[in-house]
Structure 1
Amino acid sequence: MKKYPRTFHLPISPGASSDDKIMTTLDGLICDDLVITEKMDGENTTLHRGGSHARSPDSRGHPSRDWLKAFAAGITPHLAEGERIVGENLFARHSVGYEALPAWFLGFAWIIGDEVQPWDQTLLRFDELGITPVPVLWRGSYRPGLFETIAAGLDTNRQEGFVARVTDAFPEAEMPMRMGKYVRAGHVQSETHWMHAPLVPNGLKGA
């Protein structure tokens, strides 16, 4: 199992807790082509040639993970050794409830070996595999105040936050510099972890 690296918080992220990592500089995000996607409130999950696993070391059974395993069974035979698809398993409702998702698994990264692949090629690979990507909120050149503007436009009642990354490929080891997240204040609004609460499936569009 190769765990997806932790995404550091942007310096303006109000949802960073005491044990979270925060970016010390934005230098790695200052570029001509940056993409900002919605941060979905699900379980970080990796699909690979041998199966699938959640980022959490907690591997206990859960209906949302049962669904994910069934979904992954149709994807993983088409993956090469060393190829990983990373996304959010959104079957179970966590802190944010979704009523009209395009799919219960939304992808946000394609990794080969130790390299995060370019964003445009990632979208093409997702299309080949029948994977729906996370929503794109903005794309363009970095400018001062950009992240504050995107944050101000969030509906924090239904959006957890956003993730910014360079669209070019980069080594997985450079994720702390090339990718950063913004999480709303007070994101976790229940003392009961979602795995211990009654299962409430998120809604699908058209269902």
Structure 2
Amino acid sequence: MDDEFFRFPHTPHIAWLGDREPRGDKLLPPLEVESFLSSELVVEEKVDGANVGLSIDQYGKLRAQNRGAWIDKGVGGQFKHLWKWIKQYEYQLKLALDSDLILFGEWCYAEHSIGYEKLPNWFIGFDLYSRSESKFYSVKRRNEVLATVGIPIVSPLNQGRFSLKDLKLMLDQPSYYGANKIEGIYLRKDKGNWLEKRAKLVRADFTQIIDEHWSRKSLIPNKIQY
């Protein structure tokens, strides 16, 4: 198995709702948007946390990553409770992931731009990546695997074919996790056992504060609903 670091890929916007054009974020070209919206899509809540990947190394040990770097044990800040949390799921994760899969999810201990009052867990899973196939699992397949681990899966919002207007209306609903509004939505198109394409749509007021990085503020923990 190739043990090379795999960084979670950028998710393009299906439309940009902010006033200023995105700098680092990519927009789907109009023709791709048209094709994408003609397909059956799964819509999920976009959660405002830290992107964390969990996998098994060549020695059979669990490891964690955030964007382009490994997360060391003993690290502080928003990850100070991560390894204690991982320990609770170590056995189940090793069985489910084996040497092939990377579980990606949002680590939601620290409030970023949105505060959550009703989290089911500090970690919410949203993707499984197969290193041997270089593909992400479909929603159905992902859900089946995560059900064996006992880790919450990101909240589903809808499924079907939608216009851009339909998708924009979905941004006005409250978060499943206890915030007044959702940050945005993820759109997934699956084919068989695999994810074929994905995109996102982010609220206009959220795009305006993307550059005001949360880490400049004091750390405020989100809340778990037990």
TM more than 0.5: yes
Counterpart in the other structure of 2:153: 133
Matched ranges for 1:1-207 at <5 A: 1-14=5-18, 17-24=22-29, 25-26=32-33, 27-32=35-40, 34-50=41-57, 51-57=63-69, 61-73=75-87, 74-75=89-90, 76-78=93-95, 79-113=97-131, 114-143=134-163, 145-153=165-173, 157-168=180-191, 169-170=193-194, 178-187=197-206, 189=209, 193-206=213-226
Instruction: Check conservation: 1:46, 1:54, Cα contact below 8 A.
Output: yes
Larger CA deviation: 76-85 vs 130-139 = 76-85
Q: Deviations over 1:91-114 (max 9, x none)?
A: 000010001111111111111121
- TM (norm. structure 1) is 0.83
Query: Shift of residue 143 of structure 1?
Result: 4.7
Query: Shift of residue 14 of structure 1?
Result: 3.1
In structure 1, stretches of 5+ residues that fail to align are none
State the alpha-carbon separation in 1 of the partners of residues 205 and 68 from structure 2. 21
State the alpha-carbon separation in 1 of the partners of residues 150 and 54 from structure 2. 13
Paired letter, 1:68: L
Q: Deviations over 1:20-41 (max 9, x none)?
A: 1111122245323x11111010
Instruction: Check conservation: 1:35, 1:140, Cα contact below 8 A.
Output: yes
State the alpha-carbon separation in 2 of the partners of residues 200 and 6 from structure 1. 27
Instruction: Check conservation: 2:52, 2:67, Cα contact below 8 A.
Output: yes
State the alpha-carbon separation in 1 of the partners of residues 108 and 159 from structure 2. 24
- TM (norm. structure 2) is 0.77
Query: Shift of residue 201 of structure 1?
Result: 0.8
Aligned residues with identical type, % of pairs:
25
Larger radius of gyration: 2
State the alpha-carbon separation in 1 of the partners of residues 168 and 111 from structure 2. 27
In structure 2, stretches of 5+ residues that fail to align are 58-62
Counterpart in the other structure of 2:60: none
Query: Shift of residue 62 of structure 1?
Result: 2.9
Paired letter, 2:56: R
State the alpha-carbon separation in 1 of the partners of residues 185 and 164 from structure 2. 17
The RMSD of aligned alpha carbons is 2.7
* Greater relative contact order (CA < 8 Å, ≥ 6 in sequence): 1
State the alpha-carbon separation in 2 of the partners of residues 95 and 102 from structure 1. 19
